[in-house]
Amino acid sequence: MNAKLKRANNLLALSRHYLPNNLLKQIYYSQFHSHLGYGCQVWGQTPASISQTTILQKKAVRLMSFSHRDAPSSPIFKDLKIIQLNDLITTNNIIFVHKTVNKMSPSHFGNFFEPHIPNHDHNTRNNPSSEYSIPPGSVSLDNIEEDSLKHKCAQDWNEMLKLLHSTVGHGHTRSLINASIPNLKIILKAHFIGAYWKTS
């Protein structure tokens, strides 16, 4: 796959001199992003597995923005409104859990994720940042092998629910659970891009 991404970068390097930004982004999404997102949940769950691909994606956005090859990439991703590979993988993990808990996945996954049931009596409603505060809609991590894709998907889903619950509020958490897939993608993309700062 990385060979295809290198060819896409070559195309971007040539096209950027002749095309406006909107058409250049279309080339990125058709020639680069299409390969980047294909099967990334399977091959991209560890930092080591995505290191070279991440470098190629950073090169792509630097090419599109005519930035120096050593320029920090996060501000460029933010300006172009393109999410980074690790966040793309997290997005796909969250969408998979969302589809499954909302009975939108194939029947094989009907009971793939079990709802989290609190096993304590502590009153933590007023402390949403507590590690014991589990927002509604969270799924159980019990009896799931830690290194499995299933565990990573459940963990990403729970962490996003907790993050939105603590920073935005209960209503936004519910909107994540009940959102349509297009709206869910918008929510997640806005969240990730909003977090990009002046880092490499």
- Taking 60 as the threshold, does the pLDDT of residue 169 lie above it? no
DSSP code at position 197: -
Residue 65 predicted with pLDDT over 90: yes
Distances (CA, A) of 34 to 88, 143, 164, 168, 200: 12, 34, 28, 32, 23
Q: How confident is the model at residue 126 (pLDDT cuts 50, 70, 90)?
A: very low
Q: How confident is the model at residue 198 (pLDDT cuts 50, 70, 90)?
A: low
Question: Are the C-beta atoms of residues 98 and 177 closer than 8 Å to each other?
Answer: yes
* Model pLDDT, residue 83: 96
- Higher per-residue confidence, 174 vs 147: 147
Q: Is the pTM of this model over 0.95?
A: no
Listed in sequence order, the residues at least 6 apart from 59 whose beta carbon sits closer than 8 Å to its beta carbon are 9, 69
What confidence tens digit (pLDDT) does each residue in 78-91 have?
999 999 999 999 99
According to DSSP H, which parts of the chain are helical?
2-15, 21-27, 34-37, 40-43, 47-64, 74-80, 85-101, 149-167, 170-178, 181-194
Measured between alpha carbons, how far is 19 from 27 in angstroms, rounded to an integer?
A: 10
Of 58 and 174, the structure prediction assigns the larger pLDDT to 58
128 pLDDT tier (thresholds 50, 70, 90): very low
Distance CA 123, CA 118 (A): 11
Q: Higher pLDDT residue, 106 or 18? A: 18
